[in-house]
Structure 1
Amino acid sequence: MLNQQARSTNRVDETDQSRVNVYRLLARLLREPPDASLISILTQMTGDSSELGEAIADLSNAAAGTSLADARDEYEMLFIGLGRGMLTPFGSYYLTGFMHEKPLARLRNDMRPLGIARNHDVKDPEDHAAALMEMMAGLIDGTFGAIQPLTVQKRFFDSHVGSWTPHFFRDLETCSSARFFKPVGRMGRLFMAIEQAAFEM
């Protein structure tokens, strides 16, 4: 979804790599319908006894108990639909009620100095939840050219991620039509809360 530059050669510590992994998993789950490879990976995942670990285990169980066709149909129903899905995973929509509004312009202004650019093949605006998950991962691991310090990560998170994605993930978790994606919503909601708390320390 995003153009990537030469990744920083600096090493990412284990905690930050774990953050990157969760952001990238959320990005993949939200970016496009699941395929057989993703379902296979999900079924092999295990979680610990934390709330986030339990959500990961629930997602693994959902992947094991859902056919690929049903998971793909659910994605289409939730995020695409006939004209529009049941949920609209864009920052401008959540913050203003409309697409392509000022939150998107502010995001684009903040992306440029960080070396982040949308892939020209992607039609969705940059404030899609999947794109923002990818951006956060890239800021942490240097995908866009440099590993960004926590101050930069926090500023970007507060401005463009924490301002609306917790509400989106809660809506996904509580959507009556979500089955496979219900634990995705729970995982996202819990992870956003963990990130918010960590940034405030």
Structure 2
Amino acid sequence: MIPIHTHTATEYDQLRGDIYALLASLLRSAPTQDALAWLQALQPDGDDNPDMLKAWSALALTAQHSKTEAVAQEYQDLFIGVGRGELMPFGCWYLTGSLMERPLVTLREDLKHLGYERQKEVYEPEDHIAALCEVLSLMVSQDHSYSHQYRFLQRHLFPWAFAFFTDLQTANNAYFYAPVGLLAHTFFQQEKTYFQQLSPAQLNTDNKNDRRELA
């Protein structure tokens, strides 16, 4: 079983939501000076599982040796570039080799069923890795059922996110973002194991905050 230690189920879900929110923030844009300072002062919980502890420690150590301006340039090189960055953080790209393909249509249908829509000021397609992490953070914080959370992960993240996070760890331009990739990969593996170990009753429990069932 995934060790939760002293956390209650509610506390663990809050932690899950916070990690999704952190990943969404770091993958949406380079961290601000305050955000980088928070990471620099991070003291990983010794009760965490060993792989997560290693990932948190690597991120904190790298943050301590990083400057805001350098990380901003790194983000530019990795994800934006001139024309395109070193990496393409979009589900369609990893699943089909192109943007704006059928997986995005399916994702948009599922987001509509869940009651989520893209904000007007956001221009990237909804299959951007940051947007998907943000959706999971919202699903956790708004108490969507485990079955809906797991189905969303299975349909829209597990098929490609591990490959993306592996690429992020080994990208030529990645320094600060290499341990971000490690943390994300480790956390997503923990999520996969966590849901696989839930009982059928836990996975099939409906929640009043869920919207329409995903097809």
TM-score by length of 2: 0.84
Unmatched tracts of structure 1, length 5 or more: 1-11
1:100 equivalent to 2:97? Answer no
Structure 1 runs of 4+ off > 6 angstroms? none
The 8 Å contact of residues 51 and 190 in structure 1, kept in 2 or not, is answered as: yes
| TM alignment of 1:124-143, pairs within 5 A | 124-142=124-142
The 8 Å contact of residues 43 and 64 in structure 1, kept in 2 or not, is answered as: yes
Decide which structure has the larger Cα Rg and report it: 2
Q: Where does residue 4 of structure 1 map in the other structure?
A: none
CA distance in 2, matches of 1:93, 1:62: 29
1:116 equivalent to 2:144? Answer no
Secondary structure of the structure 2 residue equivalent to 1:118? coil
Q: Where does residue 83 of structure 1 map in the other structure?
A: 83
Secondary structure of the structure 1 residue equivalent to 2:16? helix
The one-letter code matched in structure 2 to 1:197 is T
Q: Where does residue 47 of structure 1 map in the other structure?
A: 44
The one-letter code matched in structure 1 to 2:176 is F
**Alpha-carbon deviation of 1:177?**
2.3
Q: Where does residue 22 of structure 1 map in the other structure?
A: 19
Map Cα deviations across residues 128-168 of structure 1 (whole Å, 9 max, x no partner).
000000001111111xxxx2111111111100011111110
CA distance in 2, matches of 1:192, 1:174: 18
**Alpha-carbon deviation of 1:64?**
1.2
**Alpha-carbon deviation of 1:48?**
3.8
Map Cα deviations across residues 66-88 of structure 1 (whole Å, 9 max, x no partner).
11111111000000000100000
1:199 equivalent to 2:195? Answer yes
The one-letter code matched in structure 2 to 1:25 is L
Deviates more, 1:29-38 or 1:87-96: 29-38
Map Cα deviations across residues 37-56 of structure 1 (whole Å, 9 max, x no partner).
11111112122451112211
Residue correspondences, number: 186
1:34 equivalent to 2:35? Answer no
CA distance in 1, matches of 2:172, 2:51: 21
CA distance in 2, matches of 1:194, 1:30: 19
| TM alignment of 1:115-194, pairs within 5 A | 115-142=115-142, 147-194=143-190
The 8 Å contact of residues 48 and 54 in structure 1, kept in 2 or not, is answered as: no
CA distance in 1, matches of 2:150, 2:165: 19
